[in-house]
A and B are shown apart, each in its own frame.
Chain A
Amino acid sequence: MSSSETLSVEEQLAAGQSDDGIVRAADGTPLKARLAKALRREKLRSFLMISPLLLFIVFSFLLPIGDMLFRSVENQIVQNTLPTVVEELERWDPASGELPDEETFAALAKDLKVAVEERIHTRLGSRLNYEESGFSGLFRTTGRAVKKMESGPYKAQFIEADKDWGELRTWVILDSFKAPYTSGYFLSAVDAENTAEGVQMKPENERIYLQLFMRTLWMSLAITFMCLLLGYPVAYLLAQLPARTSNLLMILVLLPFWTSLLVRTSAWKVLLQGQGVINDILVWIGIVDDASRLVLINNQLGTIIAMTHILLPFMILPLYSVMKTISPSYVRAAKSMGANDWTAFWKVYFPQSVPGIGAGAILVFILAIGYYITPALVGGTSGIFISNRIAFHISTSLNWGLAAALGAILLVLVLLLFYIYDKIVGIDNVKLG
């Protein structure tokens, strides 16, 4: 048994140890509880200090994002506009190959009359039009015709009003979007769709998003790589120079931040276009023929060039601040032991600069993958990113559900990449200075 048996209670208290193994404070309360109590005030204070920012983030960031993500699956419009039809469709089996029965058409007439009264049937039309073009027109014409439908049978009258009602596909789509929540937006976002035979990829010529995601990914990687390639030597040089000179040169690195992003991007337009400065010089030197001027803009090359330039400082700064902390004595030590310049750099200096590469690469990649203005201005059609498509759906086509789904996929993708990065490089291995 433990030696505590031989100690009196007072002695145990004095030793801070009781026979149940709990460490106690001088007054007998468990030490853990005392500590928690002491820390609680501290925690409360810290919480109060961050609470303004927390509230700001919740209302300006988390709630809108949550709402946006919710929109990517939300689909109550069908149920709200055609409640009886949705009920009747429960009995219908789309795989049967037959149109729904007369009762369903009667329900459609009843629901549509109400909807036309409330003028909400066109809204449903444009919603379903995202899934299949033609729905918008279908609901508009039917909306006019349904006012005149006095009594049944309705089926023939509907097909008479618009022959699409006699198409199986129309009903399959209506059926698959009757639920209040839908995977439809997400399917569209990966170029798939719901058909009578289940989920299928869209026809080859209608696919755009997967390709766009891939392009966004590889171009962001290419930009990150270019920034590293160009930024590493610059950061290295800055870190080697005496403080006076390096501070001066650092201003040059930061200079782009002083001008507007729009101005910098437009400047690239001037430089890169067919009749632009770079082509003019190349033609003048004679490297390029006047008839076959290089296409440097409105394609992927243009996007990569302009974005590499814009994101370069985000690579140089973390690299520089990490390199600054690497004492020159390491490389000297390596050389004194017989390593030549390259070995000393590669085996001793470079590994110690990896945290800077990690930080710079993450920063540039994350910024690049969501970049919008520059690809829109210099990317043409082949050099745009997924974010440009998202912006299009938000502000032009008003298909917010699809925009939300695309955004959600992008978010998951980035988190996934973060995870992989953490597994390979280790997130601890990232240092901003």
Chain B
Amino acid sequence: MLREWRRMSNTRGASVVFDGVQKSYDGENLVVKNLNLDIAQGEFLTMLGPSGSGKTTCLMMLAGFEPATHGEIYLNGNPINNVPPHKRGIGMVFQNYALFPHMSVAENLAFPLKVRGMGKSESEDRIKRALEMVELGEFGSRRPAQLSGGQQQRVAVARALVFDPELVLMDEPLGALDKQLREQMQYEIKHIHDNLGVTVVYVTHDQTEALTMSDRVAVFNDGIIQQLSPPDVLYESPDNSFVAQFIGENNKLAGSVVEINKDICTVKLDDGTLVKADPVNVHNVGDRTSVSLRPERIEVAPDNSPNNLVDGKIEEMIYLGDHIRVRMNVAGNNEFIVKVRNRRDKRPISAGDVVKVGWDAADAKALDEAV
């Protein structure tokens, strides 16, 4: 069905450029501060960030509902600051779906086609295909209120795609769904994207969603993109401690740099322990830093000898089936989490034990001091 849709529609993704865009609502505070962002054709880009970080504002500027206070936005290389929203040809899925309650599902889908003056038979054809694409072929005559949340969501996606936009914006489209439905919809949206080749700008504050769906993720905080990278890079090589903190689980050890080389540095933790780390965001001896460590990269009583080995006192153990979550006290940090794989040959450990924990210097990222 999807392939058929693609053959029928001549969709190719659009490219988007944000060039030095700023936005202020009240003339006092910048909600978006100097946004520079290149979105490639056909890319699935996710804006991820905490509440109030300016994600929706960026989307609204791109869709044309909010004017940029400064800077220019380009769509396919053309500046669009002065193009009204209805002439931008951007499909949009709203957080609350915004399905027109006084129209049936089919009428909702017919709306963008009708305002484009498309003929009746062609538009009926398209509506049918679009509904089949989201597996709602039978529901054309229903009102939105007669659909479940997941079905409404799929109608919203179908409506945003039915007129072949080159760019689709989605503002937390899955926010209202339960976990299971959400995962299913994530898969379906990703699937549609892969098949249609349309450019998608997706907003969420669910990091798992961002990691599983996106080609690249832009992590927002306080109106600034903190990092723009593919999901794996984002997780494994965070640029700063906000990103490390925001994406996935993370242990931080505060200290200051005592020695720094090109790709390794030595950090003296606040309790006096010396550890080696990858100097990502520190430049000089004496810099305050927060060393970031993923729980699954730490080993308890390692066989080989990694370049960091410290003592840890086990505080608590939680059995999770495939792994055991161990909370321990390392270098004065009481919330130090280690994930121990559940292997048959595991050594017995229990709460209260003092064990050696080790990790590779490349897995320890010396970032800016966490706030």
A338 is an interface residue with CB less than 8 A from chain B: yes
Please count how many residues in chain A sit with their CB below 8 Å of the partner chain's CB atoms: 19
Chain B positions 49 through 91: 1 when the CB is less than 8 Å from some CB of chain A, otherwise 0: 0000000000000011100000000000000000011111111
Nearest residue (CB) in B for A334 is: B111
Chain B positions 110 through 144: 1 when the CB is less than 8 Å from some CB of chain A, otherwise 0: 01100110000000000000000000000000000
**Do B101 and A337 touch across chains, with their CB atoms under 8 A apart?**
no
**Do A339 and B98 touch across chains, with their CB atoms under 8 A apart?**
no
Nearest residue (CB) in B for A350 is: B102
Quick one: which of B160-189 are within 8 Å of A by CB?
160, 163, 169
Q: How far is the CB of B370 from chain A (nearest CB, A)?
A: 37
**Do B101 and A336 touch across chains, with their CB atoms under 8 A apart?**
no
From B64, B84, B102, B115, give the contact of A337 (CB < 8 A): B115
**Do A333 and B102 touch across chains, with their CB atoms under 8 A apart?**
no
Q: How far is the CB of B223 from chain A (nearest CB, A)?
A: 22
**Do A335 and B96 touch across chains, with their CB atoms under 8 A apart?**
no
From B64, B86, B160, give the contact of A340 (CB < 8 A): B86
Q: How far is the CB of B95 from chain A (nearest CB, A)?
A: 8
From B86, B96, B102, B159, give the contact of A352 (CB < 8 A): B102
Chain A positions 323 through 359: 1 when the CB is less than 8 Å from some CB of chain B, otherwise 0: 0000101101111111111011001100110000000
Cα A348 to Cα B102 with chains together (Å)? 8
Cα A340 to Cα B102 with chains together (Å)? 19
Residues of chain A lying within 8 A (CB to CB) of residue B111:
334, 337, 339, 347-348
**With A332-B65, A332-B85 given, is the CB distance from A338 to B115 under 8 Å?**
yes
Cα A309 to Cα B62 with chains together (Å)? 44
**With A332-B63, A338-B163 given, is the CB distance from A351 to B115 under 8 Å?**
no
Nearest residue (CB) in B for A354 is: B102
Q: How far is the CB of B340 from chain A (nearest CB, A)?
A: 47
From B86, B94, B96, B101, give the contact of A338 (CB < 8 A): B86
**With A343-B115, A347-B111, A352-B101 given, is the CB distance from A336 to B96 under 8 Å?**
no
Residues of chain A lying within 8 A (CB to CB) of residue B87:
338
**Do A333 and B98 touch across chains, with their CB atoms under 8 A apart?**
yes
Q: How far is the CB of A180 from chain B (nearest CB, A)?
A: 56
Cα A344 to Cα B111 with chains together (Å)? 10
B92 is an interface residue with CB less than 8 A from chain A: yes
Q: How far is the CB of B302 from chain A (nearest CB, A)?
A: 54
Cα A337 to Cα B98 with chains together (Å)? 12
Residues of chain A lying within 8 A (CB to CB) of residue B160:
336-337
Nearest residue (CB) in B for A337 is: B112
Nearest residue (CB) in B for A344 is: B86
**Do B98 and A338 touch across chains, with their CB atoms under 8 A apart?**
no
Chain B positions 93 through 108: 1 when the CB is less than 8 Å from some CB of chain A, otherwise 0: 0111010111000000
**Do B92 and A333 touch across chains, with their CB atoms under 8 A apart?**
yes
**With A337-B111, A337-B163 given, is the CB distance from A327 to B96 under 8 Å?**
yes
**Do B112 and A329 touch across chains, with their CB atoms under 8 A apart?**
no
From B90, B95, B100, B116, give the contact of A336 (CB < 8 A): B90
Nearest residue (CB) in A for B87 is: A338
**Do B159 and A329 touch across chains, with their CB atoms under 8 A apart?**
no
Nearest residue (CB) in B for A351 is: B102
Interface centre among A339, A341, A344, A352 (most CB of B within 10 A): A339
Residues of chain B lying within 8 A (CB to CB) of residue A338:
86-87, 89, 112, 115-116, 163
**Do A329 and B94 touch across chains, with their CB atoms under 8 A apart?**
yes
Interface centre among A329, A332, A335, A352 (most CB of B within 10 A): A335
Cα A144 to Cα B40 with chains together (Å)? 112
Residues of chain A lying within 8 A (CB to CB) of residue B92:
332-333, 336-337
Residues of chain B lying within 8 A (CB to CB) of residue A327:
96, 98
Q: How far is the CB of A328 from chain B (nearest CB, A)?
A: 9
Q: How far is the CB of A426 from chain B (nearest CB, A)?
A: 13
From A330, A335, A347, give the contact of B86 (CB < 8 A): A335
Q: How far is the CB of A147 from chain B (nearest CB, A)?
A: 79
**Do B100 and A330 touch across chains, with their CB atoms under 8 A apart?**
yes
Cα A339 to Cα B114 with chains together (Å)? 9
**Do B65 and A339 touch across chains, with their CB atoms under 8 A apart?**
no
Chain A positions 362 through 377: 1 when the CB is less than 8 Å from some CB of chain B, otherwise 0: 0000000000000000
Residues of chain A lying within 8 A (CB to CB) of residue B100:
330, 333-334, 348, 352
**With A336-B85, A338-B89 given, is the CB distance from A330 to B98 under 8 Å?**
yes
Q: How far is the CB of A48 from chain B (nearest CB, A)?
A: 37
**Do A339 and B115 touch across chains, with their CB atoms under 8 A apart?**
yes
Residues of chain A lying within 8 A (CB to CB) of residue B116:
338
**Do B63 and A336 touch across chains, with their CB atoms under 8 A apart?**
yes
Cα A83 to Cα B160 with chains together (Å)? 85
Chain B positions 333 through 354: 1 when the CB is less than 8 Å from some CB of chain A, otherwise 0: 0000000000000000000000
Q: How far is the CB of A355 from chain B (nearest CB, A)?
A: 10
Residues of chain A lying within 8 A (CB to CB) of residue B86:
335-341, 344
Cα A329 to Cα B102 with chains together (Å)? 15
Quick one: which of A289-309 are within 8 Å of B by CB?
none
Residues of chain A lying within 8 A (CB to CB) of residue B64:
335
Chain A positions 60 through 81: 1 when the CB is less than 8 Å from some CB of chain B, otherwise 0: 0000000000000000000000
Q: How far is the CB of B84 from chain A (nearest CB, A)?
A: 8
Residues of chain B lying within 8 A (CB to CB) of residue A347:
111
Residues of chain A lying within 8 A (CB to CB) of residue B90:
336
Cα A174 to Cα B65 with chains together (Å)? 79
Cα A338 to Cα B95 with chains together (Å)? 19
Cα A370 to Cα B264 with chains together (Å)? 89
Q: How far is the CB of B94 from chain A (nearest CB, A)?
A: 5
Cα A42 to Cα B97 with chains together (Å)? 41
Residues of chain B lying within 8 A (CB to CB) of residue A348:
100, 111
Residues of chain B lying within 8 A (CB to CB) of residue A334:
100, 111
**Do A336 and B91 touch across chains, with their CB atoms under 8 A apart?**
yes
Nearest residue (CB) in A for B91 is: A336
Q: How far is the CB of A274 from chain B (nearest CB, A)?
A: 49
Nearest residue (CB) in A for B92 is: A336
Residues of chain A lying within 8 A (CB to CB) of residue B85:
332, 335-336
From B84, B89, B94, B163, give the contact of A333 (CB < 8 A): B94
Q: How far is the CB of B20 from chain A (nearest CB, A)?
A: 25
**Do B63 and A337 touch across chains, with their CB atoms under 8 A apart?**
no
**Do B159 and A337 touch across chains, with their CB atoms under 8 A apart?**
yes
**With A337-B163, A338-B163, A339-B86 given, is the CB distance from A332 to B98 under 8 Å?**
yes
Q: 15 additional contacts, CB 8 Å, given A333-B94, A335-B86?
A: A327-B96, A329-B94, A332-B63, A332-B92, A332-B98, A333-B92, A335-B64, A335-B85, A336-B88, A337-B91, A337-B112, A338-B89, A338-B112, A339-B115, A352-B100
A to B CB contacts below 8 Å, 23 in the list: A329-B94, A329-B95, A329-B96, A329-B98, A330-B98, A332-B92, A332-B94, A332-B98, A335-B86, A336-B88, A336-B92, A337-B111, A337-B159, A338-B86, A338-B89, A339-B86, A340-B84, A340-B86, A343-B115, A348-B100, A352-B100, A352-B101, A352-B102
Interface residues of B (CB under 8 A from A): 63-65, 84-92, 94-96, 98, 100-102, 111-112, 115-116, 159-160, 163, 169
The 5 closest A-B pairs by CB, nearest first: A337-B112, A333-B98, A336-B92, A329-B98, A335-B85
Interface residues of A (CB under 8 A from B): 327, 329-330, 332-341, 343-344, 347-348, 351-352
